[in-house]
A and B are shown apart, each in its own frame.
Chain A
């Protein structure tokens, strides 16, 4: 409940403040957001599987964000930034889909 409230509060703060994204962060923020979403859905799935662990969630969240950002950074340095970004988005999207499918099966038996 508290994390959900935190999510909603964060969205409201973002909408209210309308901050400018710094230039150095602009290539990484979308990938980081998607990686974090993957961690969140993975956490929900873990809750339903009965294997949720707060510490694992925090660590995987941060690790996902950092690794996703690092991959994009590396791709930019190698000159394949846009392709690698696409690859990361695809992989994370597939993971989010499978997690959501698992959650759906748990909750609705369908």
Chain B
């Protein structure tokens, strides 16, 4: 190396000088079995080993090798983070509580709406109903019973508190009508024939006595030569349904408290 001061490198032109530098590197890189080269290799080995070890040590660095001020700084950071995260957690808890109570109130509203739906469904005749009630059967062999009598009977039942009524296979609702046709009676356009069976859900004793009052339904039926029979039942089911039709002209007027109030 030093015994050969590069005689073939004239410092005249740059390319030869550059080439000589590379050539010198390559010459140095040739393996030489000298003791100093062996030492250099051992040192390089130790350096590479230390380098890799230190890199890995840094990557998995724990707290134990940090200095005091660094530890204090880390502690400060952690404390600030904890305070900030605590604030976040409290805010989120408040939000969660609000959402939970909101869910409660909406579940309450849903329950109330379901109750209203059930009530209105029974009133409108769109859901089946069951409960205590009476079954009024009118046998009419001479076909003397008119629609007016059935209407009277229905009115008496309503006065007595009937909540759901079915005549034959027709659910009685607000728009139910009775017409006389040559072969009998039509209820809402559906022909019904004797024996007429009227099922009414309500307080059965009250309705039964309402049928029997002087000048009431039973007496009128008897006067026509027909036979009426009232049967009180603890449990009665009304399964005939009324099909709702969308009102063509009438529109609901929103109340002062809104449609839900």
Q: Which positions in A face B, CB cutoff 8 Å?
A: 1-15, 18-19, 21, 23, 26-27, 29-30, 32-33, 36-37, 40, 43, 47-48, 50-55, 57-58, 61-62, 81-82, 106-109
B141 interfacial by beta-carbon distance below 8 Å: no
Contact (Cβ within 8 A) B14 A109? yes
Q: Are B54 and A33 in contact, CB atoms less than 8 angstroms apart?
A: yes
A107 to B18, CA, bound (A): 6
Residues of B within 8 A of A21 (CB): 53-54, 57
Contact with A along B19-48 (1 / 0, CB 8 A): 001101100111110101111111111111
Which residues in B have some Cβ–Cβ distance to A below 8 Å?
Answer: 1-2, 5-6, 14, 17-18, 21-22, 24-25, 28-32, 34, 36-54, 56-58, 64-65, 67, 69-70
CA distance A18 to B53 in the complex (A): 6
A7 and B56 within 8 A (CB): no
- A23–B65 contact, CB under 8 A? yes
Among candidates B5, B18, B44, residue contacting A50 with C-beta atoms closer than 8 Å: B5
Q: Once bound together, how far apart are the Cα atoms of A36 and B29, in whole Å?
A: 19
Q: Which residues on the B side are within 8 Å of A19 (C-beta)? A: 53
With beta carbons under 8 angstroms apart, the residue of B18, B46, B47, B69 that contacts A108 is: B18
Q: How far is the CA of A5 from the CA of B38 in the complex (A)?
A: 11
Interchain nearest-CB distance for B116 vs A (Å): 72
Chain B residues, Cβ within 8 Å of A13: 45, 48-49, 52
